[in-house]
A and B are shown apart, each in its own frame.
Chain A
Amino acid sequence: MTTTQHAYRPGPVRDRHRASVAARDQRPGALRRWSVRAPLLPALVFTILFTQLPFVGTLVVSFMEWNSLFPNERGFTGLSNYAKVLADTELRHTIVFTVQLTATVVVASMVLGLGLALLVNERFVGRGVVRSLLVLPFLVVPVAGALFWKHAILNPTYGLMNGTITAIWRVLGLDSPPQPDLLSTAPLLGIALSLIWRWTPFMMLILLAGLQSRPPEVMEAAAVDGAGAWTSFRYMTLPHMRRYLELGGLFGSIYLVQEFDAIFMLTAGGLGTTNLPYAVYKTFYLANDYGLASALGVVVVAGTFVIAMFTLRVLLSLFKDSAR
Chain B
Amino acid sequence: MSAFTMTTGRGSPRRSPRGAARRSVVTGVAAWVAALVFVAPILWMVLTALHSETDAASNPPAIFAPLTLDGFRAFFGGSGISPWPPLLNSLTASVLSVLLVLVLAFPAAFALSIRPVEKWRDVMFFFLTTKMLPIVAALLPLYLFAKTVGALDNIFMLAVFYTVMNIPIAVWMLQSFLTEVPRELMEAAQLDGARVLTILRRVILPVASPGIAATALICFIFSWNDLLFARVLTGTIANTAPVFLTGFVSSQGLFLATVSAGALAVSLPVIAVGVAAQDRLVQGLTFGAVK
Contacts and interface: CB of A to CB of B under 8 A. Distances in A.
A222 B60 CA distance: 50
B227 A39 contact: no
Given A21-B190, A43-B105, A254 B132 contact: yes
Interface string B117-139: 11101111111111011111111
Given A143-B227, A226-B11, A276-B136, A137 B38 contact: yes
A236 B256 CA distance: 49
A111 interface: no
Identify which of A151, A239, A247 gathers the most chain B CB atoms within 10 Å of its CB: A151
Interface in A113-138: 115-116, 119-120, 122-127, 129-130, 132-138
Contacts of B31: 116, 119-120, 122, 124, 127, 130
Contacts of B281: 135, 138, 205
B179 to A, nearest CB: 8
Contacts of A20: 187, 190
A42 B108 contact: yes
Q: Which 8 A-B pairs have the closest CB atoms?
A: A124-B28, A39-B107, A57-B141, A54-B141, A139-B274, A54-B138, A144-B263, A43-B108
A16 B119 CA distance: 17
A284 B227 contact: no
B149 interface: no
A151 B267 CA distance: 17
A244 B291 CA distance: 11
Given A46-B167, A152-B48, A225-B8, A126 B138 contact: no
B183 interface: yes
Contacts of A258: 134-136
Identify which of B25, B115, B130 gathers the most chain A CB atoms within 10 Å of its CB: B115
Given A43-B105, A148-B41, A235-B7, A312 B125 contact: yes
Given A5-B119, A46-B167, A235 B139 contact: no
Nearest to B196: A21
Identify which of B35, B232, B259 gathers the most chain A CB atoms within 10 Å of its CB: B35
Interface of A: 1, 4-5, 8, 10, 13-14, 16-18, 20-22, 24, 33, 36-40, 42-44, 46-47, 50-55, 57-58, 61, 115-116, 119-120, 122-127, 129-130, 132-145, 147-149, 151-153, 157-160, 162-164, 166-167, 170, 197, 200-202, 205-206, 209-210, 218, 221-228, 231-232, 235-236, 239, 244, 247, 251, 254-255, 257-258, 260-261, 264-265, 276-277, 280-281, 284-285, 290, 293-294, 297-298, 300-301, 304-305, 307-308, 311-312, 314-316, 318-319, 323
Contacts of A126: 28, 32
Interface string B276-291: 0010011001110111
Contacts of A18: 115-116
Interface of B: 1, 3-4, 6-15, 23-25, 27-28, 30-32, 34-36, 38-42, 44-45, 48, 56-61, 104-105, 107-108, 110-112, 114-119, 121-130, 132-145, 160-161, 163-164, 167-168, 171, 183, 186-187, 190, 221, 224-225, 227-228, 231-232, 241-242, 245-246, 249, 255-256, 259-260, 262-264, 266-267, 270-271, 274-275, 278, 281-282, 285-287, 289-291
16 contacts: A1-B125, A5-B121, A5-B122, A20-B190, A124-B24, A124-B25, A130-B32, A130-B35, A133-B39, A136-B271, A152-B256, A152-B259, A197-B38, A209-B290, A297-B140, A301-B134
Contacts of A236: 3-4, 7
A5 B124 CA distance: 12
A111 to B, nearest CB: 13
Contacts of B7: 222, 225-227, 231-232, 235-236
Given A50-B161, A123-B24, A264-B246, A44 B108 contact: yes
A182 to B, nearest CB: 14
Contacts of B290: 205-206, 209-210, 244, 247
A152 B134 contact: no
Contact of A122 (B27, B115, B127, B142): B27
Nearest to B32: A130
Nearest to A221: B4
Binding site secondary structure of chain B: helix
A175 B42 CA distance: 29
A217 to B, nearest CB: 11
A123 B89 CA distance: 44
Contacts of A8: 121
A37 B124 CA distance: 14
B228 to A, nearest CB: 5
A160 B156 CA distance: 40
Contacts of A139: 221, 267, 270-271, 274-275
A67 B163 CA distance: 30
B140 A294 contact: yes
B218 to A, nearest CB: 11
A52 B59 contact: no
Identify which of A24, A141, A265 gathers the most chain B CB atoms within 10 Å of its CB: A141
B72 to A, nearest CB: 14
Given A126-B28, A152-B256, A134 B183 contact: no
A247 B286 contact: yes
A16 B183 CA distance: 10
